[in-house]
């Protein structure tokens, strides 16, 4: 059953790239590489945005720390 499911998805998934490449007149392997690289690129963008926001929040916390009152000394 797993082999049949895998075969079905491979056949239909690769067919999309093949038809798209046929429309553009380029090789199928180029289209597949493009989709793979773009998926890594878009994941990388969101991960870098996440790290940038975490860094900015850390700096904000370092600058705006709650200081104890003079009267608490």
Checking if the pLDDT of 66 tops 70, the result is no
Checking if the pLDDT of 27 tops 70, the result is yes
Please give the residue that has the higher pLDDT: either 73 or 4. Answer: 4
What is the 8-class DSSP label of residue 1?
Answer: -
Query: Quick one: 17 exposed, middle or buried, by C-beta within 10 A (0-12, 13-18, 19+)?
Result: middle
Threshold 0.85, pTM exceeds: no
Q: What is the pLDDT of residues 34-63, one digit of tens each?
A: 888 888 888 888 888 888 989 988 888 778
Mean pLDDT of 11-25: 81
Do the Cβ atoms of 27 and 12 come closer than 8 Å?
no
What pLDDT sits at residue 25? 92
CA gyration radius, the chain: 25
The residue extents of the domains of the chain are 2-64
Give the Cα separation of 13 and 15 in Å (integer). 5
């Amino acid at each position: 059953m797993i082999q049949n499911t895998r075969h079905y998805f491979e056949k239909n998934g690769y067919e999309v790239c093949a038809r798209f490449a046929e429309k553009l007149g380029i090789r199928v392997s180029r289209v597949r590489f493009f989709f793979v690289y773009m998926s890594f690129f878009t994941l990388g963008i969101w991960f870098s945005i996440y790290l940038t926001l975490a860094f900015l929040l850390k700096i904000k916390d370092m600058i705006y720390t709650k200081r104890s009152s003079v009267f608490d000394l």
